[in-house]
Amino acid sequence: MDALTIKNIIIGILIFDFIVERLLDYLNIKNLSAALPANVANVYEKSEYLKSQKYQKEKEKTSQYESFFQFGLFLVLLFQGYLGGLYDYIASYVEASSALSNYSFYVSNLLFFGVLFIVSDILSAPFSIYNTFVIEEKYGFNKSTAKLFIMDKIKGYVLAIIIGGLVISLLLFLIQRLDTSFWWIFWIFISILIVCMNMFYTSLLLPLFNKLTPLGDGELKDAIQTYCRKENFPVDNIYIMDGSKRSNKANAFFSGFGKKKKIVLFDTLVDQHSIPELIAILAHEAGHFKKKHIIQMMVLSVFQIGVYLFLLSLLIKNENLSIALGASSNSIALNLIGFGLLFSPLSTITGIFVNILSRKNEYEADAFASQTSSASDLGIALKNLSKKNLSNLTPHPAYVFLHYSHPPVTKRLDAMGIKS
């Protein structure tokens, strides 16, 4: 396939995806209902419900502006061939440098990705700042400061350089040494990395951004330990995370395996919910573990990555793909980007199936919590979480089908038999 045809296919995919996403956004906002769903009416005031809808509309408006900006910018980059031009400029500079010329293959590709990452982040920063310090502030969520925001950015850059740089460097090394056979060795590496990230994320990475404090002795810890013993769910690592230093939104999660297993509760969650509600939330997380959902999703993710890497191996040396993006010759970095664009429809399709499975898992975890704890307490917890987080109670079914990893709260309440 010649470069012009590839370029036109990529542009067609981008335009189609943009139109579909904007249509879904429109349907989702239009589906906001003036009528409060019956099964949450006992915890919502009418004013709170209207506030949640106003919040959703403001967030969507900002998201639309960002989407139009990104779409327009990317079309210009594609039509004018600026991506390829940037790579050619960096490659020629590196090759002309006597200190870097011996490593030009690695340095050119790494510098290209580094420049793209930084420029992309800078361009998206105004939208992120507005969302955090205007919208989230207006609705009482934001607790972050300018200093914290900047420090988070700096830490994110450092992690991206270290982890991202090492991963990309290994990929480039394998491609250079093994040609198109690189994919299966890199697949093994990524699979190990995914397992390690799941096991050590809360121990190594999360503390760089948040403080984790072991849950102290008291009624909550006693209740958690009692539940865990009853359900043969041994977990000694229970932490409170200072999520309130950035936002008033509440959450909880479970990570790791075996002795590395951890339960992390946001301090906002503990402050906003009763102990029975917190035990019901814990029971939901325990349900994911007992039903082996975490391992299931991890295996699925590893399988998906293997398929994508194999497909990538078929195009990684395709010079026409690089030329389609504006380069003068073959570029591994540009082919990685081109592959992502060409196969984005496949990514969307697999994402739909993953979301279907994820929503099924959420229903199963809810059922487990209802059986081992209390459906009533879990229902109250879900309602209060939705109210506090100003969640969309009436998302459009098409939007849910494509984008939701969790069922809407009203559907979860229906599945648990909670009608009011």
> pLDDT tens digit string along 252-288?
888 777 676 788 999 999 999 999 999 999 999 999 9
How large is the average pLDDT for residues 180-194? 95
* Shared-domain flag, residues 165 and 255: no
Residues spanned by the domain of 244: 212-290
Q: Quote the mean pLDDT of the chain.
A: 92
Q: Round to whole Å and give the CA distance between 172 and 163.
A: 14
278 and 361 assigned to the same domain: no
- Both 167 and 239 in one domain: the answer is no
Is beta strand 237-241 parallel, antiparallel or unpaired with respect to 252-255?
unpaired
Phi-psi region of 395 (alpha: psi -120 to 50; beta: other; left: phi over 0): beta
More confident residue, 84 or 43: 84
Residues 111 and 257 in one domain: no
Which residues on neighbouring strands pair with residue 252, listed in sequence order? 265
pLDDT at 98 (0 to 100) = 67
Q: How many helices (H) and strands (E) does the chain have?
A: 18, 4
Q: Write the DSSP symbol of residue 44.
A: -
Can you give the pLDDT at residue 199? 83
Confidence of residue 355 (pLDDT cuts 50, 70, 90): very high
pLDDT digits (tens, 9 = 90+) for 60-117: 999 999 999 999 999 999 999 999 999 999 999 888 876 777 788 999 999 999 999 9
The model's pLDDT over 372-391, given as tens digits with 9 standing for 90+, comes to: 999 999 999 999 999 999 99
Residue 272: give its domain's CATH number: 3.30.2010.10
Which of 235, 256, 290 terminates a domain? The answer is: 290
Give 135-151 pLDDT, tens digit per residue: 999 999 999 999 999 99
- Considering the domain architecture, whether residues 109 and 226 belong to the same structural domain is answered as no
Helix (H) or strand (E) holding 213: strand 212-214
C-alpha atoms less than 13 angstroms from C-alpha of 162 in its C-beta half-sphere: 7
Residue 181 is assigned to a structural domain of this protein: yes
pTM: predicted TM-score of the whole model, two decimal places? 0.92
Same domain? 91 vs 26: yes
b/e for 306-326, b at 16 or more Cβ within 10 A? bebbeebbebbebebbbbbbb
Neighbours of 303 (CB within 10 A): 13
- pLDDT at position 165 is 93
Q: Nearest 5 degrees, angle CA 380-CA 385-CA 388?
A: 120
Domain count, the chain: 2
Same domain as 297, residue 259? no
Distance CA 355, CA 334 (A): 29
Q: Is residue 268 in a domain? A: yes
51 lies in some domain: yes
Is residue 402 situated within a structural domain? yes
Can you tell me whether residue 136 is helix, strand or coil?
Answer: helix
Whether 279 and 303 share a structural domain: no
Query: Is 29 part of any domain?
Result: yes
Same domain, yes or no: 176 and 230: no
Q: Which residues contact 151 (CB under 8 A, 6 or more apart)?
A: none
Asked if residue 420 is part of any domain, the answer here is: no
Answer yes or no: do 383 and 283 share one domain.
no
Considering the domain architecture, whether residues 197 and 221 belong to the same structural domain is answered as no
The SS3 assignment for 190 reads helix
Asked, for residue 15, whether it belongs to a domain, the answer is yes
Please tell me whether residues 75 and 147 are part of one structural domain. yes
Q: Which of 273, 290, 307 is the last residue of a domain?
A: 290
Domain termination residue (choose one: 245, 260, 290): 290
